[in-house]
């Protein structure tokens, strides 16, 4: 379409220039044969009209100067007004800073030029008038003047100018619709790209936050295992070997998680965590790892049989993981209890409670991980609350069963 448009414009320019030249020559021949106007008038009009026909080539670059000249020439000298109609089309297509005033003024000016040119034509002999279109008289017969009625020039000018203006305005409206559609399509495409970018950014942020909490929990367990190994280095060799195996297993898991997040943030991942991403069924593993690290923790599972939603299960796993990490950091010698309960009607409830340590406030921490979990739970209609209650630090989470 973009390559065809210049060719079409060039072809239309050739046609319009040819039309203007032909109508100018026709007007010159008719005026010379009729000998109604002064000779200088129709010869001057012919020369100026030829220049105007050549100027049609630049009608879209200089529409208004061409239009003013094309209107002025037929008003002053005896020639046709075809160039003024062509220039009118260019003016209407180009538009005006004041559309109503500019369009109406241009139409009225072209109408005046057409009326004047047609009135001159009507005053010629009938066989030399375009309006009359009468046959030539026989030799010796008198010429007939005024064959066309007085209203004929006005009606013909109205028809010509109205048709040209209507076509030009329709083309201008079509162009504006096309431009508006292109702008709309570009805006929609840009909006789509921005939306995709926002979604990807939010997804990567969520993944980074999730994996940060996972790595923090793993590193916390490694630190506790290493501390216990340092204290009991002279104990039973089997116990030392078991602790070292736990450190190695936890480190391998942390490295796998780190590879996952690096792959996702580089754009090579699919936004998930693969087989390592766990749900409610993985909570028992968290508790077992905490016990291996020396935490006195009890798991109470009271949830009804049924499949918990994927996001709800992942969020529940994250809540317990974060809560147990905080216990290992801030209250490693205090007893803790993890309760998982609920059903399809009541929803899924996770409660992690531990005794507060002797030093006040040390069990609270920065709560940055819990803040992130609160936002994650809120996305599926749940909530997470944490704080001291009756001498214990309690993390309470409720999630929709099928979230």
The three-state DSSP-derived secondary structure of 158-222 is HHHHHHHHHHHHHHHHHHHHHHHHHHHHHHHHHHHHHHHHHHHHHHHHHHHHHHHHHHHHHHHHH
137 close to 143: Cβ distance less than 8 angstroms: yes
The whole-angstrom separation of Cα 224 and Cα 241 is 15
Q: Indicate whether 220 belongs to any domain.
A: no
Q: Indicate whether 131 belongs to any domain.
A: yes
Supply the pLDDT for residue 215.
Answer: 73
> Which whole-number Å values give the CA distances from 276 to 272, 301, 369, in the listed order?
9, 22, 20
Strands 392-399 and 347-355: antiparallel
pLDDT above 70 covers a percentage of the chain that reads 84
Of the three residues 125, 150, 175, the one that is the final residue of a domain is 150
The CATH number of the domain where 289 resides is what?
3.30.565.10
My answer on whether 9 and 145 are in the same domain is yes
Q: Is the pLDDT of residue 10 over 70?
A: yes
Report how many domains make up the chain. 2
Q: Which residue intervals of 123-151 are DSSP H helices?
A: none
Supply the pLDDT for residue 359.
Answer: 65
The whole-angstrom separation of Cα 258 and Cα 72 is 81
The whole-angstrom separation of Cα 375 and Cα 368 is 11
| Domain that includes residue 71, residue range | 4-150
Cα within 13 Å of Cα(135), Cβ side:
4
Return the number of other C-beta atoms located less than 10 Å from residue 183's C-beta. Answer: 10
Give me the mean pLDDT over the 3-13 stretch: 81
Give me the mean pLDDT over the 171-190 stretch: 91
Q: Indicate whether 200 belongs to any domain.
A: no
Q: Indicate whether 205 belongs to any domain.
A: no
The whole-angstrom separation of Cα 348 and Cα 116 is 90
Q: Indicate whether 245 belongs to any domain.
A: no
Of the three residues 92, 117, 150, the one that is the final residue of a domain is 150
Give me the mean pLDDT over the 92-97 stretch: 81
Q: Is the pLDDT of residue 364 over 70?
A: no
Strands 336-343 and 297-303: parallel
Closest CA to 329 of 232, 209, 217: 217
Q: Is the pLDDT of residue 362 over 60?
A: no
pLDDT digits (tens, 9 = 90+) for 26-70: 999 998 888 888 999 999 999 999 999 999 999 989 999 999 999
Q: Indicate whether 250 belongs to any domain.
A: no
**pTM for the predicted model, two decimal places:** 0.54
What dihedral angle (degrees, nearest 10) is formed by the CA atoms of 181, 182, 187, 192?
90
My answer on whether 8 and 146 are in the same domain is yes
Residue 339 makes CB contacts below 8 A (sequence gap 6+) with: 300, 302, 349, 350, 351, 352, 353
pLDDT band at 274 (very low <50, low <70, confident <90, very high): very low
Of the three residues 90, 125, 150, the one that is the final residue of a domain is 150
Q: Indicate whether 231 belongs to any domain.
A: no
Supply the pLDDT for residue 141.
Answer: 80
Q: Indicate whether 379 belongs to any domain.
A: yes
The two tokens of residue 46 are: 């012919």
């Amino acid at each position: 379409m973009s390559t065809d448009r210049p060719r079409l414009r060039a072809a239309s320019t050739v046609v319009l220039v040819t039309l203007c030249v032909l109508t100018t020559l026709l007007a010159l021949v008719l005026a010379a044969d009729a000998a109604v106007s002064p000779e200088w008038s129709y010869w001057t009009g012919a020369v100026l009209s030829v220049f105007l026909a050549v100027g049609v080539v630049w009608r879209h670059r200089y529409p208004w100067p061409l239009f003013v000249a094309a209107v002025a020439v037929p008003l002053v000298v005896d020639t046709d007004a075809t160039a003024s109609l062509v220039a009118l089309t260019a003016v209407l297509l180009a538009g005006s800073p004041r559309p109503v005033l500019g369009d109406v003024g241009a139409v009225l000016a072209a109408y005046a030029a057409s009326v004047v040119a047609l009135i001159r034509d009507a005053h010629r002999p009938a066989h030399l008038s375009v309006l009359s279109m009468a046959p030539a008289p026989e030799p010796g017969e008198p010429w007939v003047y005024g064959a066309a009625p007085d209203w004929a020039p006005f009606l013909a000018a109205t028809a010509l100018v109205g048709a040209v203006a209507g076509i030009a305005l329709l083309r201008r409206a079509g162009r504006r619709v096309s431009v508006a559609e292109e702008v709309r399509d570009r805006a929609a495409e840009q909006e789509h790209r921005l939306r995709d970018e926002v979604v990807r950014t939010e997804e990567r942020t969520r993944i980074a936050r999730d994996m940060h909490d996972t790595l923090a929990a793993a590193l916390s367990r490694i630190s506790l295992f290493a501390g216990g190994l340092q204290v009991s280095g002279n104990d039973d060799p089997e116990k030392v070997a078991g602790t070292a195996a736990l450190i190695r297993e936890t480190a391998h898991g942390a490295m796998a998680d780190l590879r996952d997040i690096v792959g996702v943030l580089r754009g090579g991942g699919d936004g998930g965590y693969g087989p390592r991403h766990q749900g409610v069924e993985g909570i028992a593993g968290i508790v077992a790892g905490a016990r291996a690290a020396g935490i006195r923790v009890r798991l109470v599972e009271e949830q009804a049989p049924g499949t918990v939603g994927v996001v709800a299960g992942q969020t529940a796993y994250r809540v317990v993981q974060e809560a147990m990490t905080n216990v290992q950091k801030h209250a490693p010698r205090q007893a803790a209890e993890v309760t998982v309960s609920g059903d399809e009607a009541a929803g899924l409830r996770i409660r992690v409670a531990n005794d507060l340590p002797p030093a006040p406030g040390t069990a609270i921490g920065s709560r940055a991980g819990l803040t992130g979990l609160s936002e994650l739970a809120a996305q599926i209609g749940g909530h997470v609350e944490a704080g001291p209650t009756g001498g214990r630090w309690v993390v309470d989470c409720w999630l929709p069963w099928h979230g």
